Amino acid sequence: MNLKRLVNRQVVNNLSRFNGRVRTRRDFSTITASIHSSNSSCDGVVPYNCSNSTPILSFNRYMHTIGETKLIGSSFNPKHNANDSEEDETMNEFLSRFVWIMRGKLTEVYKDCDKETINGMLLVIVGEVVSEMEKGGLEQMLDVSVATLSQGFSRDLWKTVWEVSNAVLADMERERKKEKMKGFLQCEEVQELCRFAAEIGIRGDMMRDFRFKWAREKMEESDFYEGLKRLREEVRAQEKAEEEGKNAVAMGEEAEIMDGEKPKVVTLPRRHGKINYKIYGLDLSNPKWAKVADRIHESEKLDWPEEPKPISGKCKIVTEKILALKEEDDPSPLLAQWAELQKPSRIDWFTLLDKLKEQNTRLYPKVEEVLLSEKSFQANIRDYSKIIDAHAKQNRIEDAERIVEKMNENGIQPDALTTNILVHMYSKAGNLDRAREALESLRRLGFRPDREIYNSMIMAYVNAGQPKLAELLMREMEARDIKPTMEIYMTLLRSFSQHGDVGGAGRIATTMQFAGFQPNLESCTLLVETFGQVGDPDQARNNFDYLMRLGHKPDDRCTAGMIAAYEKKNMLDKALKLLLELEKDGFEPGLATDTVLVDWLGKLQLVDEVEQLLGRIAEQGEAPPLKIQVSLCDMYARAGVERKALQALGVVEAKKEQLGLHDFERVVGGLIAGGFVQEAQRVHGLMEAQGLASEHLKVALTASQAFSRKRPSK
């Protein structure tokens, strides 16, 4: 049955103005009257905008109208049958989905129309779509470039049809992949992988994700092999067709020969001008491609350097002589002879250096330095920086500076990498001035120091005894969002503690906590020692108690620092009370605590108590440190115990290089107080020989010579 006979042509003309034009009540009444004889009317039409199409609906949403839409599709498909093939089923599904989405669009535009009117419009639209599909298939209808569509609809309406059709095809493809995925989810290989995953403890969402991933991989693998199979079948079909064509031609030639006719000779036509050839649509006969080929060739030279020349004849003999050179020999004459014979390029020199590095490692740096002046070697800044770095790692500062001077003479300025190497080298060597100069050079080049540069400079300042300048660098790091490490904080805290700088140590400890580093045993011990040096036992005890509140047990060093803080104020009762409390908790004093106690009790001339401590130290199998010997020399000299005083003095003199100014003053003062004037003068001479001087010791020695007195005997 032909729908165009059932529907008035005016309906088609009016529908062709659908999608973009506002219709009046009179126009729409004409349309509806031509389809049905009802007296329905509409107030107006809302134009449909193609750019704001409704979302694609899933298959489940149009299943409610599947019966009606399949009936519509069947009425326009002359091949439709209940027992049709898979192709007919696909066509029915396409029409069902198309009608469902198009019904929604018509209902959205014609809001006041009843269902029968909408159905009439759908009949007209689907009729035209099926007619176009019968001409060349669905693909041709959707191909805008080749489609010759009916003039019954406007281009806007056909555009809507194309959009809906493409949406339907995309939805059908997703449904197809979804159904295919269901099959692979249940395949044996995926099930086996899932069982293995369950055995190793994978559950829940992770198991679900893995299962879909494995199924998708199996589906992609299956699609790949199916595509290969199709390609193989197409190639076989093409080869078969070609073979049949050749056979037909051969049979025709045989027939012509049998008839006495000569076979025709086919030749290529004569060409005029240059040959035009194309690869993947590019006309490679254009002269510009020759320039492209040249550029590619040059880039390949950089990526794939040329091979070194073979070494033979006299050059081989010279090479063996170079490899046999000693470290003190001058390699320059042999290298010049080798260059004259080999005519080397840069790759040839590197081949020689590699052999030298394997067989004569001591001569390698010397030869490498000589090659910096060789023109054929083509030395660049990386060659210089590599040699400078090798010297810097072995603390050969003079050699590194010589390479830097040679680099400047050749007109090569140090870059950021070379300057970094110099900063690390000078910082490690303790040359603070040159390290600062290198750092400023780096900043002038426009580069900001990194964490490693800051760490090296901070360590250089700390080793030079300037923790405040090191702290300024640390603040600069924090201002540039470079977080200092725990080692840097501890190094600064240790330096401030050694210098007795309570304010600096407190700032570093507070900054550490703000940076997220919690106080530990070492940091609290350093604070206790710092307050002990300045004679503030109350603050030292606060940090000592805070350490225990954090859950740490004070060790021997921390306890010694606390006892030393009490010694500054001569609070012996509090010190002994603290030791008794700690011993109840299982603490046993070690060498550090005993050293502080020996020094304190020696100043109080408690000889018997000191000797008891010495006996305990001997029982522990440890040799008394130099500080104890200084204390014993002072104590025995003041007490008049000549033999033990001279014995302790002999140990001190043997280790005079380790003594500081305070130690010399302690020993000389004790000897003067005990009447050992000659010994005091000898030790004072040793102190001056080490560059140490003390005015009050000179005055004391002068006074002791003027008012000499006999040694007290005990």
Q: How much is the mean pLDDT over the chain?
A: 77
pTM metric for this prediction: 0.53
258 versus 229: which is more confidently predicted?
229
Is the pLDDT at 538 greater than 80, yes or no? yes
pLDDT tens, 563-577? 999 998 889 899 999
pLDDT, mean of residues 506-516:
90
Share above pLDDT 90 across residues of the chain, in percent, rounded to a whole number: 11
CB-based contacts of 354: which residues, under 8 Å, 6+ apart? none
Q: What is the pLDDT of residue 493?
A: 92
Please state, as a whole number, how many other Cβ atoms lie within 10 Å of the Cβ of residue 395: 11
CB-based contacts of 665: which residues, under 8 Å, 6+ apart? 694, 697
Is the pLDDT at 291 greater than 80, yes or no? no
Is the pLDDT at 80 greater than 50, yes or no? no
Is the pLDDT at 300 greater than 70, yes or no? no
pLDDT-based confidence at residue 305 (cuts at 50, 70, 90): low
Share above pLDDT 70 across residues of the chain, in percent, rounded to a whole number: 76
132 versus 517: which is more confidently predicted?
517
Burial 410-441, CB ≥16 within 10 A → b, else e: eebebeeebbbbbbbbbbbbebbebbbebbeb
pLDDT, mean of residues 372-399:
87
Dist CA 551 CA 544 (whole Å): 11
495 versus 260: which is more confidently predicted?
495
Q: How many residues does the chain have?
A: 714
CB-based contacts of 702: which residues, under 8 Å, 6+ apart? none
Dist CA 322 CA 326 (whole Å): 9
Q: What is the pLDDT of residue 281?
A: 52
Q: What is the pLDDT of residue 418?
A: 86
pLDDT-based confidence at residue 54 (cuts at 50, 70, 90): very low
- Helix (H) / strand (E) element for 409: namely helix 397-409
Is the pLDDT at 6 greater than 50, yes or no? no
Is the pLDDT at 270 greater than 70, yes or no? no
pLDDT tens, 175-192? 888 888 888 888 888 888
Q: What is the pLDDT of residue 69?
A: 37
Is the pLDDT at 104 greater than 90, yes or no? no
pLDDT-based confidence at residue 306 (cuts at 50, 70, 90): low
> Which tokens sit at 188?
């044996």
445 versus 598: which is more confidently predicted?
598
pLDDT-based confidence at residue 150 (cuts at 50, 70, 90): low
For the ranges 82-96, 118-132, 354-368, 429-443, which has the lowest average pLDDT? 82-96
Q: SS3 letters for 147-188?
A: CCCCCCCCHHHHHHHHHHHHHHHHHHHHHHHHHHHHHHHCCH
pLDDT-based confidence at residue 544 (cuts at 50, 70, 90): very high
pLDDT-based confidence at residue 356 (cuts at 50, 70, 90): confident
> Which tokens sit at 461?
């300042």
Q: What is the pLDDT of residue 525?
A: 92
Q: What is the pLDDT of residue 19?
A: 36
Q: What is the pLDDT of residue 508?
A: 92
Q: What is the pLDDT of residue 140?
A: 55
pLDDT-based confidence at residue 21 (cuts at 50, 70, 90): very low
Is the pLDDT at 247 greater than 70, yes or no? yes
Q: Which residues pair with 219 in a beta bridge?
A: none
Instruction: Give the DSSP per-residue string, 311-351.
Output: P-THHHHHHHHHHT--TTS--HHHHHHHHHHH---HHHHHH
Q: What is the pLDDT of residue 539?
A: 92
Is the pLDDT at 284 greater than 90, yes or no? no
Q: What is the pLDDT of residue 74?
A: 39
The most confident of 72-81, 269-278, 444-453, 630-639, by mean pLDDT: 630-639
pLDDT tens, 444-493? 878 888 888 888 899 889 988 899 999 999 999 888 888 899 999 999 99
pLDDT tens, 642-671? 898 899 889 888 988 888 888 888 888 888
Please state, as a whole number, how many other Cβ atoms lie within 10 Å of the Cβ of residue 374: 16
